[in-house]
Structure 1
Amino acid sequence: MTRIILIGYMGAGKTTIGKALAKALGVTFYDLDWYIETRMHRTVKQIFDAEGEEGFRRIEHNLLHEVAEFENVVISCGGGTPCFFDNIDYMNRQGKVIYLKASPEVLYEHLKMGKSVRPLLLNKTPGQVREFIVEQLAHREQFYSKANYTLDINLLDNHDKINITVDKLQKLIEK
């Protein structure tokens, strides 16, 4: 049975790498945010707007416990998922947890290029976004560092490198 859980800050490439890794392993891919949206029939932003971050984190925690019971999956979690409740310890018990680690500058560049709405970054200037990333990473590192494995993705900037990263991940989890 395969159960791989990808964690890291928003913009680290969890969904992109997760899809490619799941395909390479021949298993199903789940993005936890997408799973939440499907089950709740609302976007993450709508949940944040209606219930605040605390309400969203409760829903996220409950649905993490649902999806992390599935077998033969690669799951990408939201950037904050490991940092609330006992989520990181639970994930470590459920499967192989991999922290996709990147510098604040790389994350900022990835987020700038991304097209998805990030509720925590709305209405912030570029300077405020950079500062926010640095502050949040400093806080979240204590949770991220509890992952079974850490993979530096600072050089992940094209599709060839995604394939190289998937190969590295496969070798890492086979050990």
Structure 2
Amino acid sequence: MAVNYTPEEVQKAREVIRNEGIKMRYKVAGKEYVDRALKAANNDFARSMQEYVSEACWGSIWTRPGLELKTRSLLNLAMLCALNRSAELATHCKGALTNGASEVEIREVILQAACYCGMPAGMEGFRVTGKAIEEWKKEQEAKGTGVEEHTDIGLDQRLKDDE
């Protein structure tokens, strides 16, 4: 049964999903990184991509139940390594660490990707993630948070934290 929504209702729903997406982006990639990306989108053309990323990827996918944040992060590492998307791979590597992935898990994901996607992608993946891990450790030390293992929490707990 099709339901007819008013344009205002659709716009409100998109705003809610986009805002949830921005909150999730902050949680995974960090407020500084996200704010920099949003600020760089200083015209309607660029802004539409940032809105789409917040809405479609982070709001609609990352907030879904079914996979923990760490699992989503590890999947992204494999895909970004396979696609040779180095800048995004570095960002998502830091996000994976924030989401509780260990260096061993990241290493194994990149090895797996190398096996199935080719050694050139794997070599680049190791170079990028190795550097990103070291940068992340320095960032954590600068914040005084250390580099101890993080643990992922389920969606129910994440929702409680927002209350």
TM-score using structure 2 length: 0.32
TM-score using structure 1 length: 0.31
Structure with max Cα Rg: 2
Report the structure, 1 or 2, having the larger helix content.
Answer: 2
